[in-house]
Structure 1
Amino acid sequence: MHRLFAELEPSLTVTEQNLADRVRYILRSNIFDVAELERLRREAVPSSDENATAEDAAPQMVEQPANVDAAVNTPVVVDSSDDGTVAQELELEHMRSTLEEAIVETRSTPLENRPRLPRIALSKRNRAVVRALNPMLVTYLEASRDLCETDSILFGAALAVCRIIGAKVSTAGRATGHSSAIPAWRRRIEERIAKARALIGRLICFRSDNNRPRIVRTVRMAFAGTNVSLSQPDITQKLTERIDDLKQRIAAWGKRIQRYTERSTRFNQNRLFQSDQKRLYESLERPMVSGTGPAPNQADTLAFWRSLWSEPVNHSEGPWTEVVASQCAGITPMDPVIITPDDVAEAVRRAPNWKSPGLDGLHHYWLKGFMVCHSVFARQFQEALNQKSLPSLFTTGITHLVPKDQDFKFSSFFIVTFIGKQSLNEYHLAKFKKKVIANFKTTEYELDNN
């Protein structure tokens, strides 16, 4: 086939392997049907009946093996019994290309601009896609140099799964902020209400003899297509009727929001009653915070937490530290920690599937599904443990201020901190208590109870 191609296209340089790959891709992708392939073959390679002098003009063509001639001149017809195998190979080829594109895209995307991965259904089809991509990751993971690169590869694989199964992936990066909790239908209705109220204000201004160009232009647009002229004698009555009509629409839209909200509340309560009755009763006894109070000053908030976490503090060690050090002198040092793939698999197995991810946006579900990463994680975590160094991805924390009651005072916030997915140690907790007690004139007993 390569010799025939060289005779037909002497200006193109191509290797045997590249030519075979191109032919295989054309046949598997079903770009041309059997009839089209036969027509192209006849146009490219004349038969002996059509060109009797072909053997004299090119004697080297006769010397090629019979199997090559048969492979070129015989149209490819897929047997019906092989349809399932060919379809499976085509699907795997599509998965492989999607995986490669997703990994390349993830590597070139900053961590904060990664898309938000959705929670996919735990169906047989989705699990089959994850199992199909699992062996394809071996090549990429073997070339991974550190934990950050491994995390990027796994995120790309998760993104590829979402694209293959057709799951909706948010294209906006996670750095743009959290999506609004207000449903889309309510935002649309509230936008209509806001536009109607603005129009009512313009109409009232025009009725009060405010003839500014912007007001007049808005009133004309409001009466467009109604055969109402602004210079007719009963324009005041028309304005009043239009204002009343808009007010009735606003009232109807408000009732619709109330009706939809009540229906949504009933639906959520029924679903919560089936899954967690205790949580439902707690929500009924203690209503959720509406968030209508004044928000704390951002500058004061930043100054408070910066003084607590960022400024270095010099501590005078008491005599008890010497006693503790003398007691710990006889303790046998711990054996060196050896991280195995079984340790990683066990840690991943106990983790919830869809727990809120860290900065990388990768849920535990993907670590469970892509099992080939366990050995790579074990090796790279062992190297990080020996070098006593972790990437910033595993040491950067996120701090959220959560209101506890209706009064949005600065003292009514408690901190939820995730630092490397570990809780606060005793030193930071004691430092936190001391700072709060000093600033808010409270006792340690009250602080512990709160």
Structure 2
Amino acid sequence: MHRLFAELEPSVTVTEQNLADRVRYILRSNTFDVTELERLRREAVPSSGENAAAEDAAPQLAEQTANVDAAVNTPVVVDSNDDGTVAQELELEQMRSTLEEAIVETRSTPLENRPRLPHSALSKRNRAVVRALNPMLVTYLEASRDLCETDSILFGAALAVCRIIGAKLSTAGRATGQSSAIPAWRIRIEERIAKARALIGRLICFRSGNTRPRIVRTVRMAFAGTNVSLSQPDIMQKLTERIDDLKQRIAAWGKRIRRYTERSTRLNQNRLFQSDQKRLYKSLERPIVSGTGPVPNQADTVAFWRSLWSEPVNHNEGPWMEVVASQCAGITPMDPVIITPDDVAEAVRRAPNWKSPGLDGLHHYWLKGFMIIHMVCPRSELHEVSEHKDAKAASILSLLVPLPIRIYLDFNADKIHTTA
């Protein structure tokens, strides 16, 4: 590439590295589309019919083009034209292979060990990669058996996109990559409290008659900058005053930490009360202490529960049941609620792109980009959750479906009939 540039522009002095950096910047910033780049290449190198020298330039152009691609060292260059077709240097088979590897890897990885997906730039190049992988997910999603597997496939697709566009992925899992929730000022205060307690212990040892060199050196450092000397007759009173001063400081620092803890707990409880009252009340309940007595006999346990569940019981509800049934006979049943792919797409559209994800680590951006998932969400998985109300399936649903859809399902769970 540098040799060809020197022949075309002999007046411009540029190094090979500088030239490769400029080409990389032009391709990554999408300054020119594919058509414009081809036109510039044709103008830079004469055609094969002009002269004999140009005949040698055609294979040289192909060679230099390959060198440019190698020098740029980009994983994939993807762009889209007006017809919506995808122009890419990485073949579709390689993209499909990357997608397959990412899905297989995600299926065998626990949720807490999944890599943290970075925020992708909203560029034409990245959107074109998502559109290219979107039809490839049809085969995997049609074979999906439950919501957990559907979520795993979607995360694998997002992971494949990040690898294709060259995004930086964290090697450690999300559980180990989280930063400490303790603020820095609290850590500093706790270190001051630990040092003050250690100093109090040394001062008490000296007051008790321990005159080892290490203890004496610490006491002198404690009274540094003052007019107190260890040979003074009232040194014991000075030691007591110094110990009391340190204890008061420790109490003040501890009170500051307690005020922060109480305020933080109060704010978290207020937020939780607004979002999930059931979870708040459950957290306020005292833990039940299990008994430490002997384990009950297995035969007695089976006999106890068999007497409750195996014996038929005839309930006499009374005449009020007939009154209620007659009153409800004239009520018109509610029309079935049909969740369509448009409903799912509308709910996903209103969600923020990079809002903090749930346990699965999947942002709303990927739910918007992989539009094939809009056809899968209203399918049998939601029907299974609405009819059987399985707690485990509902928890998996909360990881995959955005909040607007979950609220919609909670209010209409008894009347929902979904369609594909």
TM-score by structure 1 length? Answer: 0.41
| TM-score for the superposition, normalised by structure 2 | 0.44
